[in-house]
């Protein structure tokens, strides 16, 4: 076997059991769960669950996080946890994602959430969306996570999702191991003012290399990636892993409602079938996200009504009425601009393997003609 065939990538060193190129399933509220994440892991990818955004003592989100992590360990292949006498001492080869804009994140993460994570030892902890009006939040949660991890000899990789260079630079300064460069092609919540991954990923990569040469920081690409061609492109841009969200929403293991799966599979031309807007949240009565962040979803009737001048109060009222009646035409389905590439709904493990194999084939084909 050649040295190239046996060489392990940095991501394989950081996340044992994964394959190159690394495929990551994004933490998506209401979509991801331990079963989906564990199936991605079974296919040698890195799966994430969503840890929530509420950190106060006694919160139901904390109990749910404990349950999800316990379930995730029970679903993973036994060979990953060889010492059955105390499985909790082995790292859990999945990740957990948290949204940080809540005012309870900085005061409570360290004493409520970090101890739960330390008991289960996930491989990575992903942070996104601190409120710009609370600039101490990201620093505080990273420091509290590191401090708690040190007490149990656990070394999770800290992942920070960004959409701008300023946010990427802050993440690097605060000790992120991984910066997820999220482009505007992504589905769900993202920075209002941002760029596509074609320019964002290499600029973040250059910044990390030039401004933080003594730090070991990886860059992952997120947004608009749904097949092996996208993964190959992400690697060419300088990313060490490709993150997919929309592609996994249709997997049978996801928690997406059937109407969302059907809508995603039927959609094409993400340039016209999806749109970034505050309306997607506001029509659902969700006004909690800071204005720095909007979201991309499939175009729906509520969006058209908003564009026609309907007040948000009336639109929200109609949305609630439609939801009660089971009318899905006004419902919100998060989606990236790559939705036109999502044409089948195989299991998450199959998605992971197939996308990786496609990426390897694309890279091999390019090498053959160079």
How far apart CA 3 and CA 330 sit, in angstroms, is 55
Ramachandran sector of residue 129 (left: φ over 0; alpha: ψ -120 to 50; beta: rest): left
How far apart CA 348 and CA 255 sit, in angstroms, is 12
Residue with tokens 């991605």: 40
How far apart CA 241 and CA 231 sit, in angstroms, is 8
Judge whether 304 counts as a catalytic residue. no
Choose, from 108, 120, 189, 282, the residue flagged as catalytic: 189
Alpha-helix runs per DSSP H in the chain: 3-6, 10-14, 34-42, 60-75, 105-108, 114-120, 137-151, 165-173, 197-211, 228-237, 246-249, 258-266, 270-273, 279-282, 301-307, 312-325, 348-369
Provide CB contacts within 8 A for 118, sequence distance 6+. 148, 149, 151, 152, 154
The residue among 191, 354, 361, 369 whose CA lies nearest residue 276 is 191
Cβ of 358: how many Cβ atoms within 10 Å? 16
Beta pairing partners, 161 = 180
How far apart CA 191 and CA 195 sit, in angstroms, is 9
How far apart CA 295 and CA 278 sit, in angstroms, is 7
- Residues recorded for the chain: 370
Strand 274-277 relative to strand 293-298: parallel, antiparallel, unpaired?
Answer: antiparallel
How far apart CA 82 and CA 79 sit, in angstroms, is 5
How far apart CA 334 and CA 309 sit, in angstroms, is 23
Residues carrying an active site annotation: 189
């Amino acid at each position: 076997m050649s040295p190239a065939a046996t060489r392990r990538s940095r991501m394989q060193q950081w996340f044992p059991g994964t394959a190159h190129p690394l495929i990551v399933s994004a933490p998506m509220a209401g979509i991801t769960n331990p079963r989906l994440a564990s199936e991605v892991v079974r296919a040698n990818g890195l799966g994430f669950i969503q840890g929530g955004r509420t950190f106060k003592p006694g919160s139901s989100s904390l109990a749910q996080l404990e349950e999800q992590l316990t379930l995730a360990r029970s679903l993973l292949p036994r060979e990953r946890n060889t010492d059955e006498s105390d499985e909790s001492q082995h790292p859990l080869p999945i990740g957990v994602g948290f949204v940080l804009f809540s005012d309870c994140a900085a005061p409570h993460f360290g004493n409520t959430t970090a101890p739960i994570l330390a008991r289960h030892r996930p491989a990575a902890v992903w942070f996104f969306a601190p409120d710009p009006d609370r600039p101490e939040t990201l620093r505080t949660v990273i420091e509290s996570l590191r401090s708690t991890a040190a007490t149990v000899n656990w070394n999770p990789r800290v992942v920070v999702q960004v959409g701008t260079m300023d946010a990427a630079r802050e993440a690097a300064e605060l000790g992120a191991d991984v910066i997820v460069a999220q482009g505007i092609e992504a589905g769900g919540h993202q920075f209002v003012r941002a760029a596509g991954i074609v320019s964002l990923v290499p600029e973040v990569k250059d910044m990390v290399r030039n401004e933080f040469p003594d730090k070991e920081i990886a860059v992952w690409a997120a947004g608009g990636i749904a097949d092996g061609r996208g993964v190959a492109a992400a690697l060419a841009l300088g990313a060490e892993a490709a993150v997919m969200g929309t592609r996994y929403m249709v997997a049978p293991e996801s928690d997406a409602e059937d109407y969302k799966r059907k809508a995603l599979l039927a959609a094409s031309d993400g340039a016209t079938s999806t749109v970034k807007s505050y309306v997607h949240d506001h029509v659902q009565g969700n006004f909690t996200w800071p204005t720095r962040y909007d979201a991309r979803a499939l175009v729906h009737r509520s969006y058209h009504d908003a564009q026609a001048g309907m007040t948000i109060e009336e639109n929200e009222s109609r949305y609630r009425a439609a939801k009660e009646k089971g009318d899905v035409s006004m419902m919100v389905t998060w989606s990236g601009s790559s939705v036109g590439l999502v044409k089948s709904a195989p299991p998450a493990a199959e998605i992971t393997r197939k996308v990786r194999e496609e990426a390897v084939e694309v890279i091999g084909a390019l090498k053959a003609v160079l």
